[in-house]
Chain A
Amino acid sequence: MDAVSSLIHPIPGIFYTVLGGYFVIMALIGYYSAKNTSTLSDFFVMSGKAGAIVSGLAYFSTQYSMSTFMGCPATCYKVGFAGLTISVPGLVFSMIIPALFVGRKLVRLGHKHGFLTMADYLGDRYESDGLRVLLAVLMIIFLIPMMGAQTIGAGIILRTFTGAPEWVGIVAMGIIVILYCMSGGIRGAMLTDVIQGSLMVLTAIITFIISVKIGGGFSAISEKLHALNPAYMSHPGVGGSYGWGNYVSMIVMWSFFSIGQPGLFTKFFAMKDYKVMFKAVLLGTLGMWLAATLIEWSGVNAIVSIPGLTGKQIDFVVPLILQQGVSPIVSTLLIAGIMAAGMSTIDSLLIVSTGAVTRDIY
């Protein structure tokens, strides 16, 4: 039994049942999507017919991965309030700046020229097939490890909560995502993203409420944190990592890095019109802000609520908070929200990688 398993007291039967039910729902959405996908344009960009709820939630859930629910709160647990610098101050620009600079153009180009992938656009813009192939190869090289990291996360969660070997979680998540993506294309990916994004927000809200309650309320938590170490309450935080330079770079990263992500870039091709784009920006930004702020803040609250975590235990701060505040069934469902964050990242990457191989290289 490792250091993490000694703290977590799951009931494997409930864990398998809830997770199995969740996976079945994802597979059914894949089946429904497959029945509604008949052309290449349907497969890659929903033929430019995606609505606001699907576009907004899919954008935000694609952006967030397992690290949002494991690594980020763990960082905040170590650093204190300055750790929220990771995403909170810059998050509000993560969709509006891409929309201002490229989003509107991509909506128009998607409708007028039928672009399906990022390589379609760049290849056409620079009239170069070589560029298309180069971009496609780069996407495959860099996106496959990203997908791998998410499936490994699923394996670690499964091992920690059930004792099953890591490969079981890796294979199970891989099969489910491949099933709904390859059968339902972007429709399957984006419809599952709606459920996954909602689950992520729910997980963040409930984790936050429990962490505040266990800590005794905002004032009590602030008082205890300040008494433990005043550096928890200011920049650059404990460890000194979040100075002003890092603060600014995080804000810049949130607004501009999403423009270059193929999985997010192509979301604009799928949007039905400009009204949908604006609504998606509002909804997606709100979802991102709620999920990231509350889950990272929970990490800070946990310094008081669940003191004394060390090493790998800190990565499981969110499940540990949930375990203390809700029933095993609800807790498992919300932990599925962490896995959902990984699945929603993989599905979009899988679609763009598929496009890179089948359309841009082949």
Chain B
Amino acid sequence: MDVFSNAFEKKWFFIFMFMYVLIMLPLPFFFSTTYIPSLGGLPSFIIGWTVHTAATMALIFIFYKQAMSRPEYHEFDED
């Protein structure tokens, strides 16, 4: 069970790496040197970070559900 051990692992590795690199990009809703007001006058990057975090959390949950349907993730269930 490694990040490149099979198609399932590779898929999820690249999904999380995409999200990881995405948040680093200097897009105005993640990183902004000018004030861009959004909800409640908050800077837009606060909303951008929150949405990105929520999306990544949802992906972790989907990864968990899919992983649990695979036999290799039940190796220690009876311990």
A interface vs B, CB < 8 Å? 48-49, 81, 84, 88-93, 96-97, 100-101, 104-105, 107-108, 111, 217-219, 221-223, 226, 230, 233-236, 244, 247-248, 251, 255, 272-275, 278-279, 281-282, 285-286, 289
Contact = CB atoms under 8 A, between A and B. Distances in A.
B6 interface: no
Contact of A96 (B16, B33, B42, B46): B16
Tell me which of A221, A223, A274 has the highest count of chain B C-beta atoms within 10 A of its own C-beta: A274
A226 B26 contact: no
Contacts of A48: 79
Contacts of A107: 76
A344 to B, nearest CB: 23
Contacts of B16: 93, 96-97, 100
B67 A274 contact: yes
Given A88-B49, A235-B31, A282 B61 contact: yes
A226 B3 contact: no
Contacts of A49: 79
A97 B41 contact: no
Contacts of A221: 41
A81 B41 CA distance: 12
B55 to A, nearest CB: 9
A281 B60 contact: yes
A241 to B, nearest CB: 13
A273 B77 contact: yes
A251 B23 contact: yes
A221 B43 CA distance: 12
A111 B79 contact: yes
Interface in B1-56: 1-3, 12-13, 16, 19-20, 23-24, 26, 30-37, 39-43, 45-46, 49, 52-53, 56
B12 to A, nearest CB: 8
B60 A282 contact: yes
Contacts of A273: 74-77, 79
Interface of B: 1-3, 12-13, 16, 19-20, 23-24, 26, 30-37, 39-43, 45-46, 49, 52-53, 56-57, 60-61, 63-64, 67-68, 73-77, 79
Contact of B41 (A104, A226, A236, A278): A226
A89 B20 contact: no
A84 B53 CA distance: 14
B53 A289 contact: yes
A221 B24 CA distance: 27
Contacts of B75: 108, 111, 273-274
Contact of B33 (A88, A105, A236): A236
B26 to A, nearest CB: 5
A234 B56 CA distance: 24
Contacts of A285: 57, 60
A218 B32 CA distance: 19
Contacts of B40: 217-219, 222
A99 B26 CA distance: 27
A275 B53 contact: no
Contacts of B23: 89-90, 251
